[in-house]
Amino acid sequence: MTNADGSQPRPRRRAPAGAAVLREDVTEAIRAAVFEELAAVGYARMSIEGIARRAGVGKTAVYRRWRSKLHLVLDIVSAIAVQGLPAPDTGSLEGDLRLLYEVTARALRHPVASQIIPDLQAEAARNPEIAELMQKALREGQEGVALKIVAAAERRGEIRTGVDGELALDLISGPLYWRSVVIRSPKPPKGYLAALARATAGALRAL
Where residue 80 falls among pLDDT bands split at 50, 70, 90?
low
Backbone angles phi, psi at 79, to 5 degrees: -65, -40
Cα 180 from Cα 104, distance rounded (Å): 10
Average of per-residue pLDDT across 134-151: 80
**pLDDT tens, position by position, 13-67:** 444 444 446 788 999 999 889 888 887 888 888 899 999 999 999 999 999 999 8
- pTM score of the predicted model: 0.68
* C-beta separation of 163 from 154 below 8 A: yes
Query: Which residues lie closer than 8 Å to 59 by C-beta, 6 or more apart?
Result: 48, 49, 52
Indicate the helix (H) or strand (E) that contains 140. Answer: helix 128-156
Residues of the chain above pLDDT 90, percent = 38
48 burial type by CB count under 10 A (0-12 exposed, 13-18 middle, 19+ buried):
middle
